[in-house]
Structure 1
Amino acid sequence: MRVADKVAIVTGGGAGIGAALATALAAAGAKVVVSDLDEPAALAVSERINADHPGATVGVGADAAVTEEIRGLIAVAQQHYGPVDLYFANAGIVGAPGLDVGDDDWDRALDVNLRAHIRAARLLVPEWVERGAGYFVSTASAAGLLTQIGSATYSVSKHAAVGFAEWLSITYGDQGVRVSCLCPMGVNTKLLYAGQDSGSELGATATRAVVSAGHVLDPADVADIVLAAVAAEEFLILPHPQVLDMYRHKGADYDRWLRGMRRYQASLSAETH
């Protein structure tokens, strides 16, 4: 899909990958609703983009996991620019590390990293099917294909996000709805270092695992890769190409892969002492 003259919503747009996506979309000629739970951050990103591309964006404070607030984002897009063509379900959280995580933490991780995608799709996909066109971009993670050392909530919710994106593509792909699923490893954002900042050994190990697994990319570079994939209508977006080899190794011999991951975790844990 060509993004020029299209209308997009980007959640988690107040920083990191989301801000970079909004910037790249506007530069490519799209109109963008920049959404973030942190309203001042969303407004600041929108203002910065509009300085270079007047009127290209509007910033909105919203919780991307709440149906009525997603509905509000769609209404803002409609009011300012027209019907939504692309939805970037980018908002995400890491979640607390370890097994001793309460139900509230599990619910929030699943709400933000998975159910937010489901709730947005419920509102958008029926209209896209009627129009015969629409694009849903899910920000998952390499953890959704592999795993995340340390955080069960992150690993499980990102696996589920990949699964939902697959289902969405299979179910509606022949009706004009395009789907892409972004699965990066390390990207230089606050989210990357959240585990390290948690103060727990497992959290620090989780951050070290991501940082040591491959080159940490700049969000702007990831955004460029995403837009190229959207233009080509590719499902799986891997800014770190080595993830595909890791994924193949996992599928080829699951038990061997699990043993290797346990060894890797032990070596990282030893480095933190």
Structure 2
Amino acid sequence: MNIDGSVAVVTGAGSGIGRAIAAGLASAGASVVAGDIDAASAAETAAMFGGASVAADASSTDGIAALLEAARRTFGPVDIYVANAGITGEPGLGDDEAAWDRIIDINLRAHIRAAKAVVPEWIKRGGGHFVAVASAAGLLTQLGAAPYSVTKHAAVGFAEWLAITYGDKGIGVSCVCPMGVNTPLLQGMSESPDQEIRVAGAAVTSAGTVLDPDAVATLVVQAIADGTFLVLPHPEVLTMYRQKGADYERWIAGMRRYKSTLS
């Protein structure tokens, strides 16, 4: 995709990876709508590059519609949609059913609902690009937090399905699977009063280098331009993923041992 002159929507753009991707796309010549549930944070991001901001819940159909309408009204039809908004959810099995519903809505259904809103239009126009910001947890797992691990696996699966189903119709899909990135989300895990959440944070920070969001954004922008599906800011994740597939029993046993060193 030619990013220069395109129109992009980025969710969860008020901070972290979302803010960095929004700025990166703007630097590459895109007109960007920064969406976030926090109006002030979204506006702060948009002010960095002269974009537009929308306070919206990116997990709801109404919120997605508001983002797309703001983009059309301000810049024109959307060419790139970055589904970045996400939460960590509860530790362990997650005792609260409402909390499970919430993380499924934000980490997964937000992607599904956004794709349902943009893909039909992109098919008619002959192109578009969907970015699913998932996690290395979607290829491996997330110690200490079943809801996060499950929803990130599902986000990767949905991105794969989109790429397979619509790739021959001019629609690009990129799936971003980083490990540790210096964001408020990771900081919140590391500083949580809950032991299991801290274990989850430690599993991330001890597995590899904690990157700055700008480093991830650079790779995402390049992936959109090149039409690359899998974006691995931490290349070692591919080795881990191959080891997992090569011997699942050994990998699970190894993950148990790794968890015991963090508890």
| TM-score for the superposition, normalised by structure 1 | 0.95
Inter-partner Cα distance in structure 1 for 2:182 and 2:94: 28
**Aligned ranges 1:87-102 → 2 under 5 Å:** 87-102=81-96
Question: What are the equivalent positions in structure 2 for 1:179-218 lying under 5 Å apart?
Answer: 179-218=173-212
Q: Which amino acid aligns with 1:3?
A: I
Q: Verify: 1:110 aligned to 2:83, yes or no.
A: no
Aligned to 1:17: 17
1:194 CA displacement: 2.2
Q: Is the 8 A contact 1:188 1:219 kept in 2?
A: yes
The answer on whether the counterparts of 2:10 and 2:22 sit within 8 Å (CA) in structure 1 is: yes
Structure 2 counterpart of 1:239, one-letter code: P
Aligned length: 263
Contact 1:7 1:32 in 2 (8 A): yes
1:99 Cα offset (Å)? 1.9
> What is the CA–CA distance in structure 2 between the aligned matches of 1:26 and 1:35, rounded to whole Å?
14
Per-residue CA distance 1:210-229 (angstroms, 9 max, x = gap): 00000000001110011111
Structure 1, unpaired ranges of 5+:
51-56
Corresponding residue for residue 54 of structure 1:
none
State the 1:96 CA deviation.
1.1
* Counterparts of 1:239 and 1:250, CA distance in 2: 19
Secondary structure of 2:59 counterpart = coil
- Of 144-153 and 224-233, deviating more is 224-233
The letter for the 1-side match of 2:129 is Y
Residue 49 of structure 1 corresponds to 49
| Separation in 2, partners of 1:199, 1:252 | 37
Instruction: Give ranges in structure 2 of 5+ residues lacking alignment.
Output: none
Q: Deviation digits for residues 122-170 of structure 1, max 9, x if unmatched?
A: 0100010111101000000000000000110000000000000000111
Deviation, 1:198, is: 2.6
CA contact (8 A) 1:97 1:195 kept: no
State whether residues 98 and 202 of structure 1, in contact with CA within 8 Å, keep that contact through their aligned partners in structure 2: yes
**Separation in 1 of the partners of 2:120 and 2:234?**
33
**Number of the residue aligned with 1:53:** none
Contact 1:94 1:194 in 2 (8 A): no
Equivalent position amino acid for 1:212 in 2: S
Instruction: Give the counterpart letter for 1:39 in structure 2.
Output: A
Work out the percentage of aligned pairs sharing the same amino acid.
Answer: 57
Q: Note the C-alpha offset of 1:100.
A: 4.2
Amino acid in structure 2 at the alignment position of 1:180: S
Poorly superposed stretches of 4+, deviation over 4 Å: none
Alignment partner of 1:233 is 2:227: yes
Aligned to 2:136: 142
Give CA-to-partner distance per residue, 1:219-270, whole Å, 9 cap, x none. 011100111111111100000000000000000000000000000000011x
Give the C-alpha shift of residue 48 in structure 1. Answer: 2.2
| Paired residues of 1:5 and 1:30 also in contact (CA < 8 A) | yes
CA contact (8 A) 1:144 1:183 kept: yes
Q: C-alpha distance in 2, partners of 1:196/1:185?
A: 14
Q: Please name the residue that 2:147 is paired with.
A: 153
Contact 2:14/2:36 (CA < 8 Å) preserved in 1? yes
| Letter paired with 2:234 | H
